[in-house]
Chain A
Amino acid sequence: MSTASHPADAGDTDGAAAAGTPNAPATRRLPLAGRLAPVLSRLGTTLLSVGLFCGIWEILWALDIADPKLLPPPHIFLGSFPEQAKFFNTAQRWQIGVGLNTGPSPQGAVLITILASGARVLVGLLIAAVLSIAIGVAIRYFAAVEKLTLPTITLLSPVSPIAWLPVAIFLFGIGNAPAIFMVVIALFFHMVLATIAQIDGVSRNLINVARTMGASKRQIYGRVIVPAILPGMLMVLRLNLFGAWMVVLVAESTGVGYGLGQVIMLARNTFNPSLVFFTIALIGLLGFLSDWVLRLLQKKLLYWVPQTAGVLRGL
């Protein structure tokens, strides 16, 4: 019986082996520490990278090159958190007859704002993913759907999402709906084209296996093509996640109650650089975290896709 191991195996166990080789018994006694070590080291490099950037900024400030009124360094815009946080109460502070200090606490307002923007991104992303995968599959399944929709989709796909903003307002007015619509429209066309490309890339062998087993066209699509394109689609989703975060800010600037886009608009209109940078830092952090969540999801859902990053770097 042959027991030759496949490179993919090596890739799967690579992390554990790297962490465990010097003191294998110790990691067996402390499995949590063994698993935590690579996470901590990755966190360390992230902090180092961010620290380097902030450090240069702080030095420029200390040398009086960066004007704190225009480019306040991190210790200033992050240090005044409670002061900045009270601007996040964007939903109620403009209402007539409502005092400045009513409504949620400043910290609460920051949380609500983050959740509101995050929810718009998530809902938009989900709708765009479901719609575009469905349409993409339908385009390859039915020739008529391709002839009727693909030219229009290809025509509209280079249009900047900003151009859709007035359309969003015409259609949905002001509120959550246009913001979500903007996210969907920004992702939909690209994701349809990506779905088609993914379908065309499915291994002929897998399709032929299903054919020789007597699978119908519907079964081939449902059992072979859709599962086969999922890894690629999740990658496309990850790439578009950042796009979704960019678009949601623009959409929220039109007025949505709570929203990071609202805060940016407020900061711009009141000339508050500290608030601008504070919000930028927040958005960066959120984008980073949501990408991380999607990566975790990718590992969990697509357990069969080998992890090749380490292998490629070792070349």
Chain B
Amino acid sequence: MASRSTKPFSSRDAVVCRGVGKTWSAGTDRAHVALRDVDLDVAPGEFIVLLGPSGCGKSTLLYLIAGLEDTSDGEIWAFGDRVATPSPDRSLIFQETSLFPWLTVWQNVSFGLSIRGEPAAARKEAARQALQRVGLVEAMDKRPDELSGGMRQRVAVARALAMRPKVLLMDEPFAALDVQTRAKMQDFLLDVWRDSEASVLFVTHHIDEAVALADRVVIFTARPGRIKTIVPIDMPRPRDPFSAQSEALRKELTELMRAEVDRAFAEQEAV
């Protein structure tokens, strides 16, 4: 059972979830509970990794925090405001490429600004700055299909940064990348995160990724997703993945995950 926090929350908390649950296709015979009783407090500037077996509802939680889906139970607050609709303050980065293929890189990055009706010159400048932070200024006038997978995800990060979000939600953003590129992207993400001062909620099922990135690792149970436990990581960055501390942590997280993965498998076989 999750360690239910009873601390009263203030407008200084980046994200606060209280008893959050989500049931898909509620009211039909296909209804299934994806998420139940999630309590989570995220401090400003904190890096949270959500770890769990596939299908445990960790992506669902991101969608709920982004405001793209409505909660079935409980409440979500962001900086003291109830989350009801999407907001540019909470940017979501998807697993697959989500760049607009008909726009150039800089037009993609400044898409959110054009929604606000900012003039082209200002947008281009903002795009240039955001692209500078991800090291892709030279690619400004290219089209997404001219970029590699890693570059495209960096453009997606730049697009999110251009909105100056207070919370960065990342749904397995590096899952489609090869191992070497992923390691590079993790370093890059940590740099960007330090500069931006945003809170990050990062969904993954890679234990290595959690060890490399997180201030706190939130481990989910198998379906229905609940918070099993939260593991704080007090290690300075950059972290050596081969240090004894990393090794011990990896072992601890693997143990915690194993039971849930077994349960998820058993459940899938039962179906």
Contact = CB atoms under 8 A, between A and B. Distances in A.
Interface of A: 1-6, 8-9, 12, 203, 205-206, 208-215, 219, 223-224, 227-228, 230, 302-306
B68 interface: yes
Contacts of B181: 2, 4
Contacts of B91: 212-213
Interface in B90-117: 90-92, 94, 96, 98, 100-102, 111-112, 114-116
A213 B163 contact: yes
Interface stretch (B25-33, B139-147, B200-208, B245-253): B139-147
Contact of B98 (A203, A230, A305): A203
A214 B68 contact: no
A1 B102 CA distance: 24
B45 interface: no
Interface of B: 66-68, 86-88, 90-92, 94, 96, 98, 100-102, 111-112, 114-116, 135, 143-151, 159, 163, 178, 181, 184
A262 B96 CA distance: 55
Contacts of A8: 145-146
Contacts of B114: 223
Given A2-B184, A210-B111, A211-B68, A9 B145 contact: yes
Contacts of B144: 304
A4 B149 contact: yes
B115 A213 contact: yes
A208 B68 CA distance: 7
A199 to B, nearest CB: 16
Given A213-B111, A223-B115, 13 more contacts: A2-B151, A8-B145, A9-B145, A12-B145, A203-B98, A209-B98, A213-B88, A213-B112, A214-B87, A214-B116, A215-B115, A224-B100, A302-B102
A304 B102 contact: yes
Contacts of B87: 212, 214
A281 B147 CA distance: 46
A208 B94 contact: yes
A304 B115 contact: no
Nearest to A9: B146
Contact of A219 (B115, B135, B149, B150): B115
B146 A214 contact: no
Can you list the 7 inter-chain pairs with the closest CB atoms, starting with the nearest?
Answer: A213-B112, A205-B98, A2-B150, A304-B101, A4-B148, A8-B145, A211-B86
Contact of B94 (A3, A209, A223): A209
A227 B99 CA distance: 13
A285 to B, nearest CB: 33
Contacts of A302: 102
A3 B148 CA distance: 6
24 contacts: A2-B148, A2-B181, A4-B150, A9-B145, A205-B94, A208-B68, A208-B86, A208-B92, A208-B94, A209-B92, A209-B159, A211-B86, A212-B88, A212-B90, A212-B91, A212-B92, A213-B115, A214-B86, A214-B115, A223-B111, A227-B100, A303-B143, A304-B102, A304-B144
B263 to A, nearest CB: 29
A6 B148 contact: yes
A132 B114 CA distance: 28
A302 B111 CA distance: 19
A209 B88 CA distance: 10
Contacts of A2: 148-151, 181, 184
A282 B159 CA distance: 53
Contacts of B147: 6
A302 B102 CA distance: 8
Nearest to A306: B145
A304 B145 contact: yes
Nearest to A3: B148
Nearest to A220: B115
Contacts of B88: 212-214
A2 B92 CA distance: 23
A12 B68 CA distance: 36
A160 B64 CA distance: 49
A214 B148 contact: no
A8 B163 CA distance: 29
A5 B148 contact: yes
Contacts of A206: 98, 100
B134 to A, nearest CB: 11
A298 B147 CA distance: 22
Contacts of B149: 2, 4, 6
A209 B173 CA distance: 14
A139 to B, nearest CB: 23
A224 B107 CA distance: 13
Contact of B145 (A6, A208, A211, A219): A6
Nearest to A214: B88
Contacts of B115: 210, 213-215, 219, 223
A303 B102 CA distance: 8
A53 B12 CA distance: 79
Contacts of A305: 101
B103 to A, nearest CB: 8
Q: Which of B68, B115, B149 has the most CB of A within 10 A?
A: B115
